[in-house]
Homo-oligomer: A and B are copies of this chain.
Amino acid sequence: MTNALLDKVSARITPGPDERAGLEEMADCIISLIDRTALNKGLPEVKGILVGSAARDTWISGEHDLDIFIMFPAETSEKDLKSAGLDIAKEVSREADCFEERYAEHPYIHAFFKEFEVDLVPSFRVASAASIKSAVDRTPFHNQFVLSKIGGLEPDVLLLKQFMKGAEVYGSDLKTGGFSGYLAELLIINYGAFHEVVKAADEWKPGTVIDIAGHGSKEHTDPLVVVDPTDPERNVAAALTVEKFARFIDAARKYLESPSLELFFPPPVLPLGDLEFNQIMAGRGTSLVAVVFDKPDIVDDILYPQMFMLHKSMRDMVERHGFLVYYGEVWAGKRSASIVLEMLVRTLPSVKIHFGPPVWAKQHAVDFEAKHGSGGGFTGVYIRDGKLAVDVQRKYTDAAELINGELLNCRLGKHIGVNIKAGFKVLNDQELLQINDESFRKFLRIFLKKTDVGHNHPH
Contact = CB atoms under 8 A, between A and B. Distances in A.
Interface residues of A, number: 61
Nearest to A351: B284
A358 B280 CA distance: 27
Nearest to A343: B349
A445 B247 CA distance: 55
Interface in A87-145: none
Interface stretch (A185-193, A199-207, A330-338): A199-207
A365 B285 contact: no
A450 interface: yes
A250 B359 contact: yes
A246 interface: yes
A389 B440 CA distance: 24
- For A206, A353, A360, A388, which residue has the most chain B Cβ atoms within 10 angstroms? A360
Interface in A371-400: 373-375, 378-388, 391, 397
Contact of A383 (B250, B353, B379): B250
Interface string A343-381: 011001111010000111010011000000111001111
Contact of A386 (B242, B322, B326, B383): B242
Nearest to A388: B250
Contact of A373 (B345, B388, B459): B459
- For A243, A286, A349, which residue has the most chain B Cβ atoms within 10 angstroms? A349
A321 interface: no
Nearest to A244: B383
Nearest to A453: B383
- For A243, A286, A380, which residue has the most chain B Cβ atoms within 10 angstroms? A380
Interface string A246-265: 11011001000000000000
Contacts of A382: 450, 452, 455
A443 to B, nearest CB: 15
A245 interface: yes
Nearest to A286: B349
Contacts of A459: 373-374
Contact of A286 (B280, B351, B383): B351
B243 A383 contact: yes
Contacts of A242: 385-386
Contacts of A17: none
Interface in A290-323: 322
A250 to B, nearest CB: 5
Interface string A207-250: 00000000000000001000000000000000000110111011
A152 interface: no
Interface in A60-74: none
A287 B374 CA distance: 26
A84 interface: no
A451 interface: yes
Given A455-B380, A455-B382, A326 B344 contact: no
A326 B345 contact: no
A391 B458 CA distance: 14
- For A203, A449, A450, which residue has the most chain B Cβ atoms within 10 angstroms? A450
A423 interface: no
A370 to B, nearest CB: 10
A324 interface: yes
A283 interface: yes
Contact of A349 (B243, B249, B344): B344
Contact of A253 (B353, B362, B386): B362
A41 to B, nearest CB: 52
Given A205-B360, A249-B360, A375-B458, A351 B380 contact: no
A73 B88 CA distance: 114
A202 B284 contact: no
- Pairs of residues from A and B, 6 with the lowest C-beta to C-beta distance, nearest first: A285-B349, A382-B450, A246-B359, A285-B350, A284-B351, A379-B450
Given A253-B366, A284-B391, A374-B459, 10 more contacts: A203-B362, A242-B386, A243-B385, A249-B359, A283-B350, A324-B345, A344-B348, A373-B458, A379-B451, A380-B450
12 contacts: A204-B360, A206-B360, A223-B386, A243-B386, A246-B360, A249-B359, A285-B348, A324-B345, A344-B349, A345-B345, A381-B455, A382-B452
